[in-house]
């Protein structure tokens, strides 16, 4: 069974701090996505990375796909209360199954004002 482990599971920080969330697997994925989910809503796609070693920046968020396409990280600079939510990574194309996403275990982030 493919598994995407995220760490940490929970993170509570003060506004202005930096943080990194990790997403690790023993499986190789063709793509890696990050989603953010707020209470009572479905996940919203933040970014897709497809190339090993790829780095993408979205304002204060930096996403990296590992060279071997087995892991990824999300770094947030100067976190704000609006960043609060459940962050989910999702690996695409495990074992060649191009229409499937395997979701990570999630990281619940709380940014205190």
Partner 1 sequence: GAGVSQSPSNKVTEKGKDVELRCDPISGHTALYWYRQRLGQGLEFLIYFQGNSAPDKSGLPSDRFSAERTGESVSTLTIQRTQQEDSAVYLCASSQTPRFGEQYFGPGTRLTVT
CA 48 to chain centre: 10
Q: Indicate the residue among 53 and 95 with the shorter CB distance to partner 1.
A: 95
Query: Per the structure block, which two tokens stand in for 13?
Result: 């920080």
Q: Is 103 in the site for partner 1 (CB under 8 A)?
A: yes
Give, as ranges, the residues between 38 and 97 that touch partner 1 (CB under 8 A): 40-45, 48, 86, 88, 90, 92-93, 97
Q: State which of residues 11, 74, 102, 111 lies at the interface with partner 1 (CB under 8 A).
A: 102
Among 82, 77, 62, which residue's Cα sits nearest to residue 16? 77
Q: Which residues bind partner 1 (CB under 8 A)?
A: 4, 6, 30-31, 33, 40-45, 48, 86, 88, 90, 92-93, 97-106, 108
């Amino acid at each position: 069974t493919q598994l995407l482990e995220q760490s940490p599971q929970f993170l509570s920080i003060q506004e202005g701090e930096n943080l990194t969330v990790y997403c690790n697997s023993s499986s190789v994925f063709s793509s890696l996505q990050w989603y953010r989910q707020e209470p009572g809503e479905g996940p919203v796609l933040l970014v897709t990375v497809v190339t090993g070693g790829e780095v993408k920046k979205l304002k204060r968020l930096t996403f990296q796909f590992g060279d071997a396409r087995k892991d990824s990280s999300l770094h947030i600079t100067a976190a704000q209360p609006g960043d609060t939510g459940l962050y989910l990574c999702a690996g695409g194309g495990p074992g060649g199954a191009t229409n499937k996403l395997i979701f990570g275990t999630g990281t619940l982030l709380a940014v205190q004002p």
